[in-house]
């Protein structure tokens, strides 16, 4: 267990410092046959500031897990899938600068593993065990579906607006399933809502349909997270 706890911390640290070794600032429009200059599926740039919180919280999770919970089976239950997700995440920025296809495949792998870790998380150590994984998985839900939208529009499968609708519908479907399965982990839904809010801001001047879908979706996720967390609290 100690080795796995150490791996979580080391990978969380490597993940957190990986932006220092990359000049990635979004997918290069030229990576797509149909260049994606300002795609509506992508939230406003400020939305990506959530990564600072995710990096910090995952490092704190790893440090506390190694320091105080290295032999705890409850903490150990999340480690293998979290290790897998972080291991894929460390080189993600470098790959994303070169290949949109591989970056999309990798971010979906990160999401699946992060959700797996979240599903195995317990309510113990309320702000240190599940929440950092939840917010990480929530943001990955949004980011992976943005990647799908970019791929659809970037390869000319649909228009940019239709690609945004599909990406948002996919994100809301995944978010609904995960939030329902882990009702007390409202931090997951909060991260999804953060992304949706900035999609609304990005598209307030058009296409308005994307802003409306994202706004209604955000309200739906808020309502779901609120209702499921209240039910979970009553049964705790």
Domain range annotation of the chain: 2-16+41-235
The candidate with the shortest Cα–Cα distance to 198, out of 59, 67, 41, 9, is 41
The model's pTM is 0.96
> Is the Cβ–Cβ distance between 180 and 131 less than 8 Å?
no
Omega before 207 within 30 of 0, i.e. cis: yes
Lookup: tokens for 107 = 């971010």
CA 116 to chain centre: 13
Quote the pLDDT of residue 236.
63
Q: What is the DSSP string of 143-176?
A: HHHHHHHHHHHHTTSS-HHHHHHHHHHHHHHHHH
Q: What is the DSSP letter of 37?
A: S
C-alpha to C-alpha distance for 145 and 13, rounded to whole angstroms: 26
Taking alpha carbons only, the member of 134, 157, 120 closest to residue 54 is: 134
Contact status, residue 122 vs residue 48, Cβ threshold 8 Å: no
Can you tell me the distance from the alpha carbon of 132 to that of 36, in angstroms, rounded to the nearest whole number? 31
Q: Looking at residue 234, what is its pLDDT? A: 76
Q: What is the pLDDT along the chain (236 residues), one digit of tens a residue?
A: 899 999 999 999 999 999 999 888 788 999 999 999 999 999 999 999 999 999 999 999 999 999 999 999 999 999 999 999 999 999 999 999 999 999 999 999 999 999 999 999 999 998 999 999 999 999 999 999 999 999 999 999 999 999 999 999 999 999 999 999 999 999 999 999 999 999 999 999 889 999 999 999 999 999 999 998 888 777 76
């Amino acid at each position: 267990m100690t080795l796995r706890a150490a791996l979580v911390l080391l990978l969380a640290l490597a993940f957190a410092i990986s932006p220092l070794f990359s000049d990635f600032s979004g997918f290069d429009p030229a990576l797509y046959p149909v260049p994606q200059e300002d795609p509506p599926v992508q939230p406003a740039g400020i939305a990506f500031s959530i990564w600072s919180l995710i990096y910090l919280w995952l490092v704190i999770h790893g440090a506390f897990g190694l320091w105080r919970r290295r032999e705890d089976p409850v903490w150990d239950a999340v480690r293998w899938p979290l290790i897998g997700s972080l291991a894929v995440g460390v080189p993600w920025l470098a790959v994303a600068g070169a290949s949109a296809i591989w970056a999309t495949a990798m971010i979906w792998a990160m999401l699946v593993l992060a959700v797996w870790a979240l599903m195995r998380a317990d309510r113990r150590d309320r702000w240190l065990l599940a929440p950092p994984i939840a917010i990480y998985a929530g943001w990955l839900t949004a980011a992976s579906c943005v990647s799908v939208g970019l791929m659809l529009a970037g390869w000319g499968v649909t228009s940019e607006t239709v690609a945004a609708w599909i990406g948002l519908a996919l994100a809301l479907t995944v978010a609904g399933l995960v939030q329902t399965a882990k009702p007390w982990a409202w931090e997951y839904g909060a991260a999804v809502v953060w992304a949706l809010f900035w999609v609304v801001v990005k598209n307030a001047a058009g296409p308005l349909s994307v802003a409306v879908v994202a706004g209604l979706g955000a309200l739906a996720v808020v309502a779901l997270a609120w209702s499921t967390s209240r039910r979970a609290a009553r049964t705790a």
